[in-house]
Chain A
Amino acid sequence: NAGVTQTPKFQVLKTGQSMTLQCAQDMNHNSMYWYRQDPGMGLRLIYYSASEGTTDKGEVPNGYNVSRLNKREFSLRLESAAPSQTSVYFCASVFNTEAFFGQGTRLTVV
């Protein structure tokens, strides 16, 4: 998935800890997204950013915050992690109708 870099790949957190997932794209795209993927469910939208400086809630925003400080970077923050946030997280960047995904972050909250 050239062009979308997502870090870290793996993370284990204790309940109540905080962390930030980083996502960067070098394709000059306006739209960026954060999804979570859980067994038996399709990818669900957490937050998205249609352009630099704007963010909007998706289907499952509770417990998350995002930041789009510049066109290239879109970060996802968990302020106080909960076991229900154990999931695989994907960042995506969209231009017109082409979609590019990061490699994913496997997060476990214990």
Chain B
Amino acid sequence: KNEVEQSPQNLTAQEGEFITINCSYSVGISALHWLQQHPGGGIVSLFMLSSGKKKHGRLIATINIQEKHSSLHITASHPRDSAVYICAVRRASGSRLTFGEGTQLTVNP
């Protein structure tokens, strides 16, 4: 079993829909990252969370440390949100990141 599990693996939505991507992990962490990767592009860090909730524009990320679970929400989704969203955790000891497999999001107009 992977230490970081994401669901769903693939998600197709219509423009305007509210989207949720989930991440569960099984190790102690000091931080959790949500990353975005566009086709053929690099990886961009969206959020870094160690507790609670963060919001940036239409993106909201939450984390529940006790339940070892995080969610990424996109409100009023748009085709330009189509990308792979990756959850990564930084272990409590050390600086190494462990990645989930990613969620491929497609938002249709």
Residues of A at the B interface (CB closer than 8 Å) are: 1, 31, 33, 35, 40-45, 48, 50, 58, 90, 92, 94, 97-104
Contacts and interface: CB of A to CB of B under 8 A. Distances in A.
B41 interface: yes
* Interface range, B side: 20 to 34
A45 B96 CA distance: 8
Contacts of B33: 97, 99
A76 B22 CA distance: 33
Contacts of A92: 97
Nearest to A56: B96
Contacts of B99: 35, 42-44
Interface in B81-98: 86, 88, 90, 95-98
A42 B30 contact: no
Nearest to B31: A97
A43 B45 contact: no
Interface of B: 2, 4, 30-31, 33, 35, 41-45, 48, 50, 86, 88, 90, 95-102
21 contacts: A1-B43, A31-B95, A42-B4, A42-B98, A42-B100, A43-B88, A43-B97, A48-B95, A58-B96, A90-B43, A94-B90, A94-B97, A97-B33, A99-B33, A99-B45, A99-B97, A100-B45, A101-B35, A101-B43, A101-B44, A104-B43
B30 A97 contact: yes
A98 B33 CA distance: 8
A33 B97 contact: yes
Nearest to A90: B43
Contacts of B42: 1, 90, 101-104
A42 B101 contact: yes
Contact of A42 (B48, B86, B90): B86
B40 to A, nearest CB: 8
Contacts of B100: 42
Contact of A94 (B41, B43, B95): B95
A98 B45 contact: yes
